[in-house]
Amino acid sequence: MATIKSYRTSDSSKKITTYLFNARHYSLAFDFGSNEIATSDIKNLDYIFITHEHLDHFMGLLNLDYAKLLLDSKCVIYASNVTKDLMIAIFENALRVDLDKKSTNTIRDLLHSIQGALFYEKYKLNNHSYFRLFPSGHTFGSSMVYLHDEETKILYTGDMDFSEDDSDRQYQLDLKENESIDYIIADGTYLNNEDFRDEEFSKIRENIINKGFSKFYCKPEKMVFFCKKLMLSPKLKDEYCIVFSNDLKWYLKVLREYCYEPFITNQIILDSSIYEVPDKKCLFVSSKKQDKQTNVTGLVGLHISFLDFAYFLYQFDTSKTKVLVGHYNYEDKNDILATFHANQFTCDFNVHILEKGEYTL
């Protein structure tokens, strides 16, 4: 019998973000965000998929004991090319890790050993299975994993999103006719609410225009989306330009290597002498907290709302596809189930909330 074994993150949120799939002939992990994974499980792994560069999804790779085990094993780690490069950039630029040189090199070697994969392409894992990655809309380069196993077909959504006004924030699932799904392992983060923050966004726009707000603090991966959304406003686009502080350079460097255009338009530029600031009012964004900034991190949610997820599910057959929900706050469990039961598009689906431990498929 195939099983899914779930592990919680080691941080205070204790969310489920790591899922070991034990198939008949092999074993793999969807994300690796826990420091509580049993050594015996790690030794057994043939493959690991990292869906995106958030620590709660890959911090296990930064665990020195795990890294040594994985480097000594046959395990192959896959991620999209952007995610691989972002993980390396985070490790090299943005984390304060207290490691000696040898240990740093061990983790660096592991991160560089990740196999970068292209979206939509089919990759054969073994004689029993293949996988394809699809954009999940959560961060730049974030992916969903479709696993086509001879017995079980799984879609692991990772963290997913759908935001109407930004195609970089939209999941893209493009299955072939023979690619059915038995189980969806879903991002449960916001599946108990419909909270989207357009009103707060409008307030920020007004505050820029009427009160002269011009300095913003935001996490790197959210800051890009925040700036793109700000520039959808014609008035802001005409009169303002966005200046990214140099502390964001490492993040923007990776994105520019993959030709994400917003950073080379004259609306969005780097705070650096090689770029000429146009004759416009400037909006400064930074990922380092400084004086007189407005914290806008909370304005960009990055996780799909329940209604958008219901629409996503609408394409599947309730008698064939079962939904397993992970990545939720522990106290939300009953709310999530109630929300599924109350919606006409989702009430007929078989929904199970994953908890720490093993679940038989």
Q: Least distance from C-beta 98 to Zn ion, angstroms?
A: 24
Residue with smaller CB distance to Zn ion, 138 or 228: 138
For the chain, give the longest Cα–Cα distance. Answer: 65
Q: Which stretch binds Zn ion (CB under 5 A): 4-12, 49-57, 111-119, 204-212?
A: 49-57
Map residues 22-41 to x or -, x wherever contact with Zn ion holds by CB under 5 A: --------------------
Query: Would you say 159 or 271 has its CB closer to Zn ion?
Result: 159
Query: What minimum distance in Å lies between the beta carbon of 158 and Zn ion?
Result: 8
Cα 193 to chain center, whole Å? 19
The pair of structure tokens assigned to 78 is 């896959």
Instruction: Report the residue count for the chain.
Output: 361
- Strands, DSSP E only, in the chain? 3-8, 16-22, 27-30, 47-49, 76-80, 115-117, 123-126, 129-135, 143-149, 153-156, 183-187, 215-217, 240-244, 268-270, 281-286, 294-295, 322-326, 350-353, 357-360
The smaller minimum CB distance to Zn ion, of residues 56 and 271, is found at 56
Q: In the bound complex, what is the minimum distance in angstroms from residue 195's beta carbon to Zn ion?
A: 17
> Which residues fall within 8 angstroms of residue 133, CB to CB, at 6 or more apart?
78, 80, 117, 118, 119, 120, 121, 143, 144, 145, 146
Instruction: State the number of binding residues for Zn ion (CB under 5 A).
Output: 2
Residue 52 C-beta: closest distance to Zn ion, Å: 5
15 binds Zn ion (CB under 5 A): no
* Nearest residue (beta carbon) to Zn ion: 54
Give the Cα separation of 216 and 199 in Å (integer).
Answer: 18
Comparison of 81 and 136: residue with beta carbon closer to Zn ion: 136
> Which of these ranges, 46-54, 129-137, 229-237, 246-254, lies near Zn ion under the rule CB under 5 A?
46-54
Amino acid letter for position 263: F
Q: Which CB atom, from 159 or from 168, has the smaller least distance to Zn ion?
A: 159
Question: Could you tell me the strand order of the sheet in which 16-22 lies?
Answer: 115-117, 76-80, 47-49, 27-30, 16-22, 3-8, 357-360
- Could you give the CA distance from residue 167 to residue 312 in angstroms, rounded to a whole number? 16
Q: Which string of x and - marks every residue 127-166 that binds Zn ion (by CB under 5 A)?
A: --------------------------------x-------
Nearest to 300 by CA among 178, 172, 163, 158: 163
Which residues between 52 and 71 bind Zn ion (CB under 5 A)?
Answer: 54
The least distance separating Zn ion from the CB of residue 329, rounded to whole angstroms, comes to 14
Q: By the criterion CB under 5 A, which residues form the site for Zn ion? A: 54, 159
